[in-house]
Structure 1
Amino acid sequence: MDAGATIDAVRDQTETERDRLGSDKVLIAATDATLETGAVLTAAATRESGLADILDRWAAEADSDVAAQFEAAAEAATERADRIDADAGDSDGFLDNLETVSGTARRVGAGLVAAPLVADRFYLQVVSFFVNEADEQRADTFREIRREASALDDGKTVLEYLSESERGTAATAATDAIGAAYDDYAETLEAMGLDPKPIC
């Protein structure tokens, strides 16, 4: 599998989880059912600040080529957090999972493939929230943040540095990280008495 096929495999294996992570319940879970502007901004800032910190640490521990991509991704996440302009809250299940990931290939999969795929679904609902609030300025800001946060360029670049077996390891780690994000989402909703599965 080349880099593109690796990412496609992760998409295919996590389609159900990602679909549910893009539902309108994701902000209920992320904000403890406090669907207010401040809580939504805090949830977004938590994700970007937490991701930036983790990627920055990984950059310090990685070989030069991979370190440069981790560092670039960390700087981008920091810049997005600055634009959100809110205090970060407690870490969520996805970030907690990233904290446990070791090994370059696994970190590439979790931090540079899974994180953008999860961000795409999360920010879809953040944009919708601000559209519904008639806050077009913030909706536009988060459209741009979504576009940037969901970009897979860094992941594709680094996957090309890896061997085929390492790309397989990265794909497994990405799938596991998305699974952790979904499990946290589902458990949070179930604790509120809500069903994480869509109503058909």
Structure 2
Amino acid sequence: MDADTFLDELRDARGTELSRLSSSKAVYALTGGEMTGDAVRAGTARELHALTSVFDDWAETSEDDVADLFADAAVFAATSAGDFDTEAASDAATGITADALAGGETDVERLAGAAAALLVLEELTGQLVGFFVGDADRTSADEFRQFRSELGEYRDDAADLLAEHCADDADREIASEVGTDVIDAAYDWYVETLEGMGVEPKNVC
């Protein structure tokens, strides 16, 4: 298995879920129905704070290149969160991806989970860029466009390391299961959040 194959298989297996997670309804869920630029920034920052905690923990308990990747990703997530909203509470995570990563113990599990989580957030951020374009906020659109690009780089780095650490078919199966579980958890967040707001989650707009 190589990095591109892993990511392509995730997209094929969970194409519908990823499509909905990159829809305007996902922005509505992220902001709790408050479709403003400030709410988008705060919602994104909360998720990044939660990811920072996960990546920090993994950096401390992993080794070598895997530890380095998670340490760098933690700095990226924390810095981005601060850039988006300095007041967003780190204990008020939206729970899009971070909660699903908590059980990762091995390098394969952690790298697969990280790659899938960053894929989800990259897909969602595409819609956030569109939100700011529609809001005629060019500065924020460019800021989130750059953020999306960096998410993609970390996603690819995690997938590349995953490919190096998958020694056999058993590892590849574990990676696939973990990746799809993370996307499924994000989709559960999407459905449960929208249903809790009285919104039908399955019609993409």
Q: What TM-score comes out, normalization by structure 2 length?
A: 0.89
Q: Which consecutive unaligned segments of at least 5 residues does structure 1 have? A: none
SS where residue 114 of structure 1 aligns?
A: helix
State whether structure 2 residue 198 is matched by structure 1 residue 196.
Answer: no
Aligned partner (choices 108, 117, 120) of residue 119 of structure 2: 117
Residue by residue over 1:176-196, the C-alpha shift from the partner in whole angstroms, topping out at 9 and shown as x without a partner, is 001000011111111222111
Aligned to 1:87: 87
Aligned to 2:20: 20
In structure 2, relative to structure 1, the CA distance for the partners of 1:86 and 1:170 (3 Å cut) is same
SS where residue 24 of structure 2 aligns?
A: coil
In structure 2, relative to structure 1, the CA distance for the partners of 1:15 and 1:191 (3 Å cut) is same
State whether structure 2 residue 5 is matched by structure 1 residue 5.
Answer: yes
Residue by residue over 1:78-101, the C-alpha shift from the partner in whole angstroms, topping out at 9 and shown as x without a partner, is 232233243334112322222233
For residues 133-172 of structure 1, the aligned pairs below 5 Å read: 133-151=135-153, 152-162=155-165, 163-164=167-168, 165-172=170-177
- Give, in angstroms, the shift of residue 156 of structure 1: 2.7
Percent identity of equivalent pairs:
37
**What is the identity, as a one-letter code, of the residue corresponding to 2:62?**
A
Contact 1:41/1:86 (CA < 8 Å) preserved in 2? no
Q: CA RMSD in A?
A: 1.8
Q: Which consecutive unaligned segments of at least 5 residues does structure 2 have? A: none
- Give, in angstroms, the shift of residue 68 of structure 1: 1.4
Partners of 1:136 and 1:199 lie apart in 2 by 25
- Give, in angstroms, the shift of residue 31 of structure 1: 1.3
Number of residue pairs the alignment of both structures matches? 199
Q: What TM-score comes out, normalization by structure 1 length?
A: 0.91
